[in-house]
A and B are shown apart, each in its own frame.
Chain A
Amino acid sequence: MYRYDEFDERFVRERVAQFRHQVERRLDGSLSDDEFKPLRLKNGLYLQLHAYMLRVAIPYGTLNARQLRQLAHIATRFDKGYAHFTTRQNLQYNWPKLKDVPEILDLLADVEMHCIQTSGNCIRNVTSDQFAGVAKDEVEDPRPTGELIRQWSSLHPEFAWLPRKFKIAVTGAEHDRAAIKVHDIGLRVLRHAETGEVGYEVIVGGGLGRTPMIGKVIRDFLPKGELLAYLEAVMRVYNAEGRRDNKYKARVKILVHETGPEEFIRRVEAEYAQLNGPTINAPEDEVERIAAYFAPPPYEALPEDSAILDAARRADPALDRFVEQNGFAHKQPGYVALTVSLKPIGGVPGDMSDAQMLAFADIAERWSFDELRVTHSQNLVLPHVRQDDVPAVFAALQAAGLATANAGLVTDIIACPGLDYCALATARSIPIAQGIARTFADEARQREIGPLPIKISGCINACGHHHVGAIGILGLEKAGVENYQITVGGDATENAALGERLGPGIDAEDVPGAIEAIVDVYLKERQSGEVFIETVRRAGLEPFKAGFQAFIASDEGARTLAAEPAQ
């Protein structure tokens, strides 16, 4: 993975000094609260419902053991002994004190980490495929591109005061695990159909939030070496022309939508034509220097399958289930990538204790070439485990309470922090996730249902990505009561789609029952081999609407309607 050189090191240290200077100038009155707010946000510091929250960048979701140990140490010393992994591969501390933040930033800088641009109206931390460098369907590892964008976007002089936040995601694979179609810019590494040259498909204007939209392809093929100049052109058009009169219409998706994709493309290309590419783009040497850090680890030459693992799986059904559910095929024979779920039944999705972080750091160091990944579904990944070692890894994960075999299943729920933490939230998310997980706790039942991504947001800002959940749950407030809208059919992959509402909102206690009713429709309708989202696509929304309405009409759901004010 990438290692800082002297320039990166000095840059991050100077950024900490800059923030310290800003805090001092806020305290002595030089900066007003309104002026300080965007400065602290650009360093990941939010004011939440009960306390400050500090968001740490994990660029493209890659960490090493030393970094995770430092994150554990910070959780112990400055938080309440835990931290929370987010839907953008970042990590949040929920209880730091303002006075401690500069010291926390120093500790992060000690392990080549920072909080730069994890919030604010600027280019945010870049995200990527959690199986980068591992997946068989990959044209090229997307992380060198991610690292180049991390550097280029850090304290960009021109694009630090955008109309609104700006999120970039990169994938190098055919199967999109980075949700590039619902980002402000999505990049897909591909090979030119005729020349074989490596470049990018560029997608702009996707996003969730209040006005969810699927991004539009604005360049079918951008030569790899032209990336930064082209990004500069897109950003300049957006910075100059994005709406600033209404923060809810300020994202680039609205500009693309209101101008129309053709006109937006015309403006970007007109700007791009005026740029002097070679003075902006990264030197080829530099691209190669960065890429070299992401060279594959020193794998052993092994047979495709492991007799040791096969025997162990036959002897231990729990191990067998874990590998079946959480294993991901590795391009290197004899290796496997393992998803490590942060969604134990009844737990808080994405939370990890300091003790678990320390245990997991040891596991990653010993059995995964000192590398781990964070997924956008708030789980972790051991990217390079020898199949022979899986039984030992599984035992170590069990000892740390990290062996839940539910990756991608109905209990592997994405949820924003919701009203338990967030000042914007209109409803709770975490207890809803816990309620659903308890309802479907039985492992055999989960397996029978199969892959079913449920995503929960506690307000219309959609941090829980509910629009692209196969089942999406949106928590709102209605006449002082939390009320949940259910959507079905959302998809964050290369088949990106937005979910559609099944009917009126329901009360919190009815959500698990409603999900059961929807799942029952699926089990009844599915044809052989179909996963949930495929059945929705084939059968359409109607049977799910009918099942949902029947649930509401039943005795169990009657309370919901009674509680709804007359329209």
Chain B
Amino acid sequence: MTLITRTGEKPEDYRRVDAVEDLRLDERAVLVPLAFASAALAARPAASVALSVPNDTPVEALQPYLAAAPLIAVEFPSFSDGRGLSLAKRLRRAGFAGTLRASGPLIADQFAEALACGFDEVELPETMANRQPVQQWMEAKDIVTSHYQSGYGEDRSILQKRLAARKG
């Protein structure tokens, strides 16, 4: 897999654990399915337990973990399933301040959308990363430089920029 952030590729800090018995194997922080969250938190400090969640998970189900989880990975079953974008938006609204990861076969053309909805990084399967190297992600995210929607991304929307320009 390849991890891509808005500034480029970065190394993985988490070990994906898919079986409860593997939770204690080493000191590296773990990324566990939501179903293992309680077991993992019983075995390790909360700051070392990241959660991987399906894109239809209700925010209420994640509420207990939002304050301490260092990272939440939202699973994208396919690039054309946009539910994860709304979940990201809702997680940010609920106060999640950790790292938000989009995990799955996204395409470079979606990078700007993912970032605007609150994601920090994309975890890409290797087959996808081979076809769409990091450089394409960097180019794709910067082609359209402004957006009309207020409340998305860190910069102001076109509507807000117009208003600011008029008030000069």
B44 cross-chain contacts in A, Cβ below 8 A: none
Q: Would you list 21 pairs from A and B whose C-beta atoms are within 8 A, ordered by A residue? A: A7-B162, A10-B146, A11-B148, A14-B143, A30-B132, A39-B109, A155-B144, A157-B149, A157-B153, A158-B86, A159-B82, A160-B110, A161-B85, A236-B89, A239-B85, A239-B86, A240-B56, A240-B90, A276-B151, A280-B151, A286-B163
Taking the closest CB of chain B, its distance from the CB of A274, in whole angstroms, is 7
Taking the closest CB of chain A, its distance from the CB of B119, in whole angstroms, is 10
Taking the closest CB of chain A, its distance from the CB of B129, in whole angstroms, is 11
B131-168 vs A, CB cutoff 8 Å, 1 = contact: the mask equals 11000100110011111111111000011111100100
B136 & A152 in contact (Cβ 8 Å cutoff): no
A17 cross-chain contacts in B, Cβ below 8 A: 143
Residues in A272-312 with C-beta less than 8 Å from chain B = 274, 276, 279-283, 285-286, 289
Indicate if A38 sits at the interface (CB-CB under 8 A). yes
Indicate if A5 sits at the interface (CB-CB under 8 A). yes
Among B117, B151, B161, chain A packs the most CB atoms within 10 A around the CB of B151
Contact A11-B113, Cβ < 8 Å, known A161-B85, A285-B163? no
B147 & A157 in contact (Cβ 8 Å cutoff): yes
A21 & B163 in contact (Cβ 8 Å cutoff): no
Taking the closest CB of chain A, its distance from the CB of B88, in whole angstroms, is 8
Taking the closest CB of chain B, its distance from the CB of A513, in whole angstroms, is 46
Contact A21-B162, Cβ < 8 Å, known A239-B86, A240-B83, A244-B81? no
A204 cross-chain contacts in B, Cβ below 8 A: none
**Cβ 8 A contact of B80, one of A10, A38, A274:** A38
A157 & B85 in contact (Cβ 8 Å cutoff): yes
Indicate if B3 sits at the interface (CB-CB under 8 A). no
Taking the closest CB of chain B, its distance from the CB of A398, in whole angstroms, is 43
Indicate if B23 sits at the interface (CB-CB under 8 A). no
The secondary-structure label for the interface of chain A is helix
B163 cross-chain contacts in A, Cβ below 8 A: 283, 285-286
A18 & B144 in contact (Cβ 8 Å cutoff): yes
Q: Which residue of B lies closest to A286 (CB)?
A: B159
Task: Write the residues of chain B forming the contact surface with A, with a CB cutoff of 8 angstroms.
Answer: 56, 79-83, 85-87, 89-90, 93, 107-110, 112-113, 116-117, 131-132, 136, 139-140, 143-153, 158-163, 166
Contact A22-B146, Cβ < 8 Å, known A30-B131, A283-B163? no
Q: Which residue of B lies closest to A15 (CB)?
A: B144
Contact A121-B158, Cβ < 8 Å, known A14-B145, A151-B148? no
B136 & A30 in contact (Cβ 8 Å cutoff): yes
Known contacts A155-B148, A158-B149, A240-B56, then 10 further A-B pairs from the complex at CB < 8 Å, ordered by chain A residue: A11-B148, A25-B136, A152-B149, A154-B148, A157-B112, A157-B149, A158-B117, A161-B79, A232-B151, A282-B159
Taking the closest CB of chain A, its distance from the CB of B166, in whole angstroms, is 7
B158 cross-chain contacts in A, Cβ below 8 A: 7-8, 11, 151
Q: Which residue of A lies closest to B139 (CB)?
A: A21
Task: Write the residues of chain A forming the contact surface with B, with a CB cutoff of 8 angstroms.
Answer: 5, 7-8, 10-11, 14-15, 17-18, 21-22, 25, 29-32, 35, 38-39, 121, 151-152, 154-162, 228, 232, 236, 239-240, 244, 274, 276, 279-283, 285-286, 289
Taking the closest CB of chain B, its distance from the CB of A184, in whole angstroms, is 16
A280 cross-chain contacts in B, Cβ below 8 A: 150-151
A158 & B80 in contact (Cβ 8 Å cutoff): no
B110 cross-chain contacts in A, Cβ below 8 A: 160-161
Taking the closest CB of chain B, its distance from the CB of A148, in whole angstroms, is 9
A161 cross-chain contacts in B, Cβ below 8 A: 79-82, 85, 110
CA of A286 to CA of B132, assembled, Å: 39
B86 & A240 in contact (Cβ 8 Å cutoff): yes
A152 cross-chain contacts in B, Cβ below 8 A: 148-149
- For the complex of A and B, the 8 pairs showing the least CB-CB separation, nearest first, are A161-B82, A157-B116, A157-B113, A151-B148, A7-B158, A18-B143, A14-B144, A240-B86
